[in-house]
Structure 1
Amino acid sequence: MTDTAPELRVPRWIDADGEELQDPVRLSDLGAGHKIIFCFQDWCPGCHSQGFPAFKALHDALVGKGVGFAAIQTVFEGAHVNTFDKLRRNQEKYDLPIPFGHDTPPAHERFPTYMQDYDTHGTPWFTVISAAGAILYSGFTVPGAFIRAAESGASLLPTISSELE
C-alpha cells in the first residue's frame, strides 16, 4: 500500500492525561517519525483480547524511539455503549498515555471519518504511517515488521517501508 495518509478528521480527543482537547489531533501532533494508529470499539471483544494487548506491547517497546501513537474509537455501531467517556477508561486500563479520539459518523453518514478516509473495515484495526506520510499498512492485525522492530529494539524501523510494500 502506498497511499498518502489523509489528515485526521476525528472531532473529539483526550490527551495523554485524559483531559479533553479543545482542538482535534493532527498527524503532525504525533511526531515526525512513523505513526501507529489503533482503532477500537469499547464493546469489541477482539479489541480487548487481541488488539489492545498488541498495541500496548508496541507502544511499550517503541515509545521514545521516534514512533507516534494514537487510539481512535471508531463508532460505526453501538453508539449507546461506545461513548466518549470510554476513552479515558481504556487509556487507564491499558496504561497508554497517548491521545485517544472518539469518531462518530458525521450527520447523515453511515461511517466515522477515519473509516471513510482510511478505508477501514471494522475493529480492531491498525494503521502504520511512514515518516513521509505514506500508509504502509492497514489491517486487522499487527504487521509482523513492527513486531520484529519492537522485539529488536526498533532497529528495523528504517527498513519497515520496504518490508511492508
Structure 2
Amino acid sequence: MNVSERQAPELRVQRWIGADGEKIAPLKLSDLGAGPKILFAFQDWCGGCHSHGFPTLQALHAVLSDQGVGFAVIQTVFEGAHENTFERLRPNQVEYALPVAFGHDEPPAGSTHPTFMQDYRTRGTPWFTVIDAGGRIILSDFRLDVGRLVKALEQG
C-alpha cells in the first residue's frame, strides 16, 4: 500500500457529471464533504477497472456513503482517448449503480498525463486515493483491502 501522508491537491478536472448524469461545474474536494474522501480513477477500456476496481468501489460506497465519506470517480485519459470518452461516464455510472460525480480528465495542452495523474502521482488504473478528514492522502494505490480500510476509517 502506497501511503504518502501529504496534503491532497485541489482537483483540476474540468468536465463532470453529477449523480443524475447531468453535467455539473468542476468538482472541488470540499464538494465531497468535510469527512474522508475516496477518489477512484479508471479508464473505460481497462479490464481491471471493471473486474476489480468498480466492484471494490461499490463495496466501499455501500458501507461508507452514509457515514460521511465522500466519493468521486475520475476517468483519467492517458491513452485511448478515442474510447475513453466523456460520453462513457454515464454508462459506467449506471452500470455500477454509483450515485456519485464522475469526471473526465484529459491531459492539458502540452502534457501526456491528465491533471489527476500529475497532481496525485498515480501510475495507472484502477487507482484508489483515500483522503482523511484533515485533507491528507492516506492511501494511493492500485488495490485496497475494503475491510481494512473500513475499519481504519471507522476508528478515525
Does TM, normalized by the shorter one, top 0.5?
yes
Q: Give the gaps of 5 or more residues in structure 1.
A: 161-165
Q: Which residue of 1 aligns with 2:77?
A: 75
The 1:95/1:3 distance shift into structure 2, 3 A limit, reads same
Residue 32 of structure 1: how far off its partner (Å): 0.4
Distance 1:156 1:7 in 2: 24
Distance 1:140 1:149 in 2: 14
Structure possessing the higher relative contact order (Cα contacts under 8 Å, 6 or more residues apart): 2
1:148 aligns with 2:148: yes
Distance 1:59 1:149 in 2: 12
Residue 57 of structure 1: how far off its partner (Å): 0.5
Q: Which residue of 2 aligns with 1:57?
A: 59
Residue 88 of structure 1: how far off its partner (Å): 0.3
Residue 157 of structure 1: how far off its partner (Å): 1.8
Distance 1:52 1:10 in 2: 20
Residue 64 of structure 1: how far off its partner (Å): 1.1
1:117 aligns with 2:132: no
Residue 65 of structure 1: how far off its partner (Å): 0.5
**Cα offsets for 1:51-89 (capped at 9, x unmatched):** 000011100111110100000000000000000010000
Residue 148 of structure 1: how far off its partner (Å): 3.2
Q: Which residue of 1 aligns with 2:21?
A: 18
The 1:108/1:156 distance shift into structure 2, 3 A limit, reads closer
Q: Give the gaps of 5 or more residues in structure 2.
A: none
Distance 2:152 2:139 in 1: 15
Q: Tell me the amino acid that sits aligned with residue 13 of structure 2.
A: V
User: Sequence identity of aligned pairs in percent?
Assistant: 61
How well do the aligned residues superpose, as a CA RMSD in angstroms? 1.2
What's the TM-score once normalised by structure 1's chain length? 0.89
Give 3-state SS (helix, strand or coil) of 1:71's partner. Answer: strand
